[in-house]
Protein backbone atom coordinates (compact mmCIF):
# COMPACT_ATOMS: atom_id res chain seq x y z
CA UNK A 1 0.00 0.00 0.00
CA UNK A 2 1.21 3.48 -0.79
CA UNK A 3 1.58 5.95 1.98
CA UNK A 4 3.78 7.89 4.34
CA UNK A 5 5.55 6.19 7.20
CA UNK A 6 6.81 8.04 10.23
CA UNK A 7 8.84 6.34 12.88
CA UNK A 8 8.85 5.97 15.75
CA UNK A 9 5.34 6.79 16.96
CA UNK A 10 6.58 7.83 20.41
CA UNK A 11 10.05 9.13 21.19
CA UNK A 12 11.62 10.20 24.45
CA UNK A 13 14.87 12.12 24.69
CA UNK A 14 16.87 13.89 27.33
CA UNK A 15 17.24 17.63 27.13
CA UNK A 16 20.31 18.68 25.17
CA UNK A 17 20.30 15.69 22.83
CA UNK A 18 19.69 15.89 19.10
CA UNK A 19 17.06 13.52 17.74
CA UNK A 20 16.14 12.56 14.17
CA UNK A 21 12.59 11.75 13.11
CA UNK A 22 12.13 9.53 10.09
CA UNK A 23 9.69 10.14 7.23
CA UNK A 24 9.45 7.90 4.17
CA UNK A 25 6.90 7.98 1.34
CA UNK A 26 6.27 5.61 -1.54
CA UNK A 27 3.70 7.79 -3.30
CA UNK A 28 6.29 9.17 -5.75
CA UNK A 29 5.44 12.68 -4.56
CA UNK A 30 7.80 15.52 -5.35
CA UNK A 31 7.04 17.67 -2.32
CA UNK A 32 7.45 16.82 1.35
CA UNK A 33 6.69 18.84 4.47
CA UNK A 34 7.30 18.82 8.21
CA UNK A 35 4.78 20.33 10.62
CA UNK A 36 4.69 20.75 14.34
CA UNK A 37 1.41 20.57 16.28
CA UNK A 38 1.01 21.67 19.90
CA UNK A 39 -2.11 20.86 21.95
CA UNK A 40 -5.18 22.75 20.80
CA UNK A 41 -3.33 24.39 17.96
CA UNK A 42 -3.04 24.07 14.23
CA UNK A 43 -0.11 22.79 12.24
CA UNK A 44 2.91 25.03 11.86
CA UNK A 45 5.32 24.52 8.99
CA UNK A 46 8.91 23.75 9.93
CA UNK A 47 10.58 22.92 6.61
CA UNK A 48 9.49 21.85 3.17
CA UNK A 49 11.12 20.44 0.07
CA UNK A 50 9.76 20.54 -3.44
CA UNK A 51 12.58 18.64 -5.10
CA UNK A 52 15.46 16.39 -4.16
CA UNK A 53 18.52 18.17 -2.74
CA UNK A 54 16.56 21.36 -2.11
CA UNK A 55 14.51 22.56 0.86
CA UNK A 56 13.17 25.78 2.32
CA UNK A 57 12.53 27.06 5.82
CA UNK A 58 8.97 27.29 6.98
CA UNK A 59 7.55 29.52 9.68
CA UNK A 60 9.31 27.91 12.66
CA UNK A 61 12.60 26.49 11.33
CA UNK A 62 14.85 27.62 14.19
CA UNK A 63 16.31 24.66 16.08
CA UNK A 64 15.50 22.17 13.32
CA UNK A 65 17.37 20.78 10.31
CA UNK A 66 16.40 18.57 7.38
CA UNK A 67 17.89 16.80 4.38
CA UNK A 68 16.39 15.57 1.11
CA UNK A 69 18.93 13.25 -0.44
CA UNK A 70 16.30 10.91 -1.86
CA UNK A 71 12.82 11.58 -3.21
CA UNK A 72 11.32 9.08 -0.78
CA UNK A 73 12.92 10.37 2.41
CA UNK A 74 12.79 13.65 4.36
CA UNK A 75 14.24 13.22 7.88
CA UNK A 76 13.90 15.96 10.47
CA UNK A 77 16.51 16.57 13.16
CA UNK A 78 15.41 18.33 16.31
CA UNK A 79 18.55 19.94 17.68
CA UNK A 80 19.42 21.01 21.18
CA UNK A 81 18.92 24.60 20.01
CA UNK A 82 15.15 24.06 19.83
CA UNK A 83 13.95 25.54 23.11
CA UNK A 84 10.66 23.71 23.44
CA UNK A 85 10.88 20.51 21.38
CA UNK A 86 8.13 18.49 23.06
CA UNK A 87 5.36 18.30 20.46
CA UNK A 88 3.55 16.17 17.89
CA UNK A 89 5.46 16.14 14.59
CA UNK A 90 3.70 15.42 11.32
CA UNK A 91 5.27 14.71 7.96
CA UNK A 92 3.31 15.14 4.75
CA UNK A 93 3.82 14.80 1.03
CA UNK A 94 2.08 16.21 -2.02
CA UNK A 95 1.96 15.58 -5.72
CA UNK A 96 3.56 18.48 -7.53
CA UNK A 97 4.38 21.66 -5.70
CA UNK A 98 1.01 23.35 -5.31
CA UNK A 99 0.31 21.67 -1.95
CA UNK A 100 -3.45 21.74 -2.53
CA UNK A 101 -3.82 18.23 -1.10
CA UNK A 102 -1.34 16.86 1.41
CA UNK A 103 -1.04 13.26 2.59
CA UNK A 104 0.05 12.91 6.19
CA UNK A 105 1.92 10.29 8.15
CA UNK A 106 0.67 9.09 11.54
CA UNK A 107 3.01 11.44 13.37
CA UNK A 108 5.74 11.15 15.98
CA UNK A 109 5.06 12.34 19.50
CA UNK A 110 8.35 13.62 20.88
CA UNK A 111 8.80 14.16 24.60
CA UNK A 112 11.97 15.77 25.88
CA UNK A 113 12.64 15.35 29.57
Partner 1 sequence: GQSLEQPSEVTAVEGAIVQINCTYQTSGFYGLSWYQQHDGGAPTFLSYNALDGLEETGRFSSFLSRSDSYGYLLLQELQMKDSASYFCAVIDAGKSTFGDGTTLTVKP
* List of residues contacting partner 1 (CB under 8 A): 31, 33, 35, 40-45, 48, 50, 58-59, 88, 90, 97-107
Q: Shortest approach of partner 1 to residue 103 CB, angstroms?
A: 7
The residue among 73 and 88 lying less far from partner 1, judged by its C-beta, is: 88
CA distance linking residue 91 with residue 36, whole number of Å: 9
- Which ranges of 15-88 would DSSP assign to H, the alpha helix? none
The residue among 11 and 80 lying less far from partner 1, judged by its C-beta, is: 11
Q: Shortest approach of partner 1 to residue 108 CB, angstroms?
A: 11
CB 89 within 8 A of CB 75: no
The residue among 80 and 109 lying less far from partner 1, judged by its C-beta, is: 109
Q: Shortest approach of partner 1 to residue 41 CB, angstroms?
A: 5
Q: Shortest approach of partner 1 to residue 37 CB, angstroms?
A: 9
Q: Give the phi and the psi of residue 24 in degrees, each rounded to 5.
A: -130, 140
CB 99 within 8 A of CB 29: no
The residue among 18 and 28 lying less far from partner 1, judged by its C-beta, is: 28
Nearest Cα to Cα of residue 15 among 88, 108, 79:
79
Number of Cβ within a 10 Å radius of residue 107: 17
Amino acid sequence: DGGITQSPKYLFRKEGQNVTLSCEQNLNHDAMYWYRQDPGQGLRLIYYSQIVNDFQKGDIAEGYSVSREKKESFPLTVTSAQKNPTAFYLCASGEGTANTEAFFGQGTRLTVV
